[in-house]
Structure 1
Amino acid sequence: MREFSSAGAANQTMKDQWIGLPEERFEKYQNWKTPSGYLCGTYAAAVLLAYYQDYRQEFALPERIRVKESPDETILIDLLRAYIQPLGMPTIPLQVSHGLSQFLKAMGEEQRARGTLFGSWQRATKRIRQGKPVLVGLLKGLGSTYGNHWVVAYAYFESSTGKRYYKVHDNWGNTKKIIPASWTNGTVSLS
């Protein structure tokens, strides 16, 4: 897989080759699984924040919430849920991005989240080329076998015939799941 640093190769586009972040980095979050219910927006946001804390160095969560490189997500999930899904109901991109931004603001961070309602490919591939994972929404109506769900995309592939895929942390225990980009609509990323 071609790996990009945050500073490099932003304009490169290569067909028939995975472009993105090393999949091994997401293995530490393998047990961060959405329980029964609709909390996938919260769990995907937790993986995104943990990745930023562990690899991007752009901010640090307070140690009382999560220690860098820690596999324990409990406190982070509980706090994020209060901002993103206090009622445990399904979410749309603007709810996840707003809740995530409010959480970051409460932590004293300048970083904010941005949500897009439609499409995912342009936004997600841009962020991934910058070395940043992105949340993508999956929709049952677009063929998603997960139903409506949030995942963390960290690599993408476009074949020479135009078929597009993401490699994702699926919040169900699979950190290397390959899904068709055609299942996705909407994104949440950090600005």
Structure 2
Amino acid sequence: MSEKPKMAYPVKWTGLKPARFRKYKSWINSVKPGICGTYVSAVLLHDAFNQKYTIDLPKENVVNGLQNLIEDTFAYKGTFVWDLWYGLKWVLKDNTDFKVKMHLIPERKVISLLDRKNPIPIAVGTTTLFGSSYKNHWVVVYAYGYNEENKLFFKAYDNHGRYTAILPASQTIGCVWIETV
């Protein structure tokens, strides 16, 4: 019986430091079947307000408010990239300091947003279709790196109690972020 070879992770990461996301370690999605889209959107919103205004929004208020907009608005179960975009856009509709954006292919977008002078976190979807062990899920990516084989990886908060999760970029689809205007 042969063991599956372990994937080599990057040694060098570009983007934001994990310490910024440590506070979200306790933001654990314990709802069944899960509201991961709401949790990652809540983290994006909380982080944006914390960075721009140094306001610490109450977790329960942010999660509960976004759940109605993201998880409960449409008739289908689960969340797609446009659900996160819609919920965040609605919440921020009267705030001219922020603009919510989305893209379907995260790899290049994550790199461009994390390579900037002021990098920003990005909600990124994982998918069973591309072999993700997370299955269909949402995470907040805050760093990226390439391993020895030049494969791209993301470092993320995953709403299961981890804020330093590492996942292959090739297993992701869709991304949403909040730009400061």
- Smaller-chain TM-score bracket: 0.7 to 0.9
Residue of structure 1 in register with 2:159 after alignment: 171
Cα drift, residue 50 of structure 1: 1.2
CA contact (8 A) 1:151 1:170 kept: yes
State the one-letter code of the partner of 2:40: A
1:48-102 Cα distance to aligned partner (Å, 9 max, x none): 11111222x1xx4xxxxxx8246x4101111111221125831111121012101
Distance 2:89 2:146 in 1: 31
Alignment match of 2:45 (pick from 38, 44, 49): 49
Q: Structure 1 regions of 5+ residues with no counterpart?
A: 1-14, 61-66
CA contact (8 A) 1:38 1:89 kept: no
Distance 1:38 1:158 in 2: 30
Q: Does 1:20 align with 2:15?
A: yes
Distance 1:171 1:18 in 2: 21
State the one-letter code of the partner of 1:125: I
Residue of structure 2 in register with 1:138 after alignment: 126
Residue of structure 2 in register with 1:84 after alignment: 70
Name the TM-score, length of structure 2 as normaliser. 0.83
Cα drift, residue 34 of structure 1: 1.5
Secondary structure of 1:30's counterpart equals helix
Alignment match of 1:151 (pick from 121, 126, 139): 139
Q: Does 1:122 align with 2:108?
A: yes
Count of residues paired in the alignment: 164
Distance 2:178 2:131 in 1: 27
Residue of structure 1 in register with 2:5 after alignment: none
Secondary structure of 2:92's counterpart equals helix
Cα drift, residue 112 of structure 1: 2.4
Alignment match of 1:183 (pick from 171, 177, 180): 171
Distance 1:113 1:52 in 2: 11
Residue of structure 2 in register with 1:113 after alignment: 100
Distance 1:93 1:116 in 2: 8
Secondary structure of 1:112's counterpart equals strand
Residue of structure 2 in register with 1:4 after alignment: none
CA contact (8 A) 1:94 1:116 kept: no
Secondary structure of 2:12's counterpart equals coil
Secondary structure of 2:124's counterpart equals strand
Greater than 3 Å deviation, 4+ residue runs: none
Name the TM-score, length of structure 1 as normaliser. 0.79
Secondary structure of 2:34's counterpart equals coil
Distance 1:189 1:24 in 2: 20
